[in-house]
Amino acid sequence: MKLLVVDDDPDALVLARFALERRPGCSVVTASDAAGAVEAMRRERPDAVLLDFYLGEHDGLDVLARLAAEDTGSGEEDRPEVIFLTGKGEEVKDCLLAAGARGVIAKPFDPATLAQTVADLLGAKIDPGRE
Amino acid sequence: MNELRDYYRGRIRERIAELEPLSAELAAGRAGDGERSAVRQVAHQLKGTGASYGFPAVSESAAVVDGAADDDLAGALADLLAVLHAELAEET
């Protein structure tokens, strides 16, 4: 499973990569802004996108709309699912789900359970790997 | 997880170096919108990552800064800097 993690905080990207790539079969690509996210989605064709809600001057809904407008080249069913990372939690969860997000993960997240949480949201099987 | 804590301790040192000049500007009443915005951005990031790296007090204190009104920002930032220094002192 290839995941694109988008966050303007480099420490969040380091942590997400550590938490996700310790699971066999999980690879992570990263972007730090909206333009980078769009470019990485075109180039890397991830299975899912973990998207920080606050991304510099763009909020997550803007970026979600930009990603949704991208032509994946292989049809709607292959469009990557988007999971939001946000410190706002329940305040914005319903809004993000209504906008098309697959799920919402609260920040700060637990790196020990992040990969499983992502897999659960995607309905994907994931190797437990190293604990 | 120890390697992550070591990494983040280094980042705390860098964050202190970023925040202390801004704290001085706030305390002196010289801070403008740009300085306040910079403080809130760093605090927002610390809020989002501190606990994940094993520093829950950093997330808690940074959340106060992130949500502080302008008049309360200097005090909240001073408290956050105290927490950051305490985390470094605890590990040495």
Over residues A22-43, the pLDDT tens digits come to 888 899 999 999 999 999 999 9
- Beta-carbon contacts of residue B62 (< 8 Å; ≥ 6 apart): B43, B44, B45, B46, B47, B50, B80
Q: Is the pLDDT of residue B21 over 50?
A: yes
Residues of chain A with Cβ-Cβ distance to B44 below 8 Å are 54, 87
Is the CB of residue B8 less than 8 Å away from at least one CB of chain A?
Answer: yes
B1, B49, B63 ranked by CB distance to A11: nearest: B49
Q: Is the pLDDT of residue B1 over 80?
A: no
pLDDT at A73: 60
pLDDT at A59: 83
Residue listed under structure tokens 């997330």: B59
Q: Which of A55, A118, A122, A77 lies closest to A66, judged by CA?
A: A55
Residue of A nearest to B48 (CA): A108
Given pLDDT bands bounded at 50, 70 and 90, which one contains residue B91? low
Best of A6, A7, A9, A11 to disrupt the B interface (most B CBs within 10 Å) is A11
* ipTM of this predicted structure: 0.90
What Å distances lie between residue A109 and A71, A125, A126, B15, B19, CA to CA?
31, 20, 18, 20, 24
Percent of chain B with pLDDT over 90: 93
Type of residue found at A100: G
pLDDT in tens, B29-61: 999 999 999 999 999 999 999 999 999 999 999
Average pLDDT over residues B49-76: 97
Is the CB of residue A110 less than 8 Å away from at least one CB of chain B?
Answer: yes
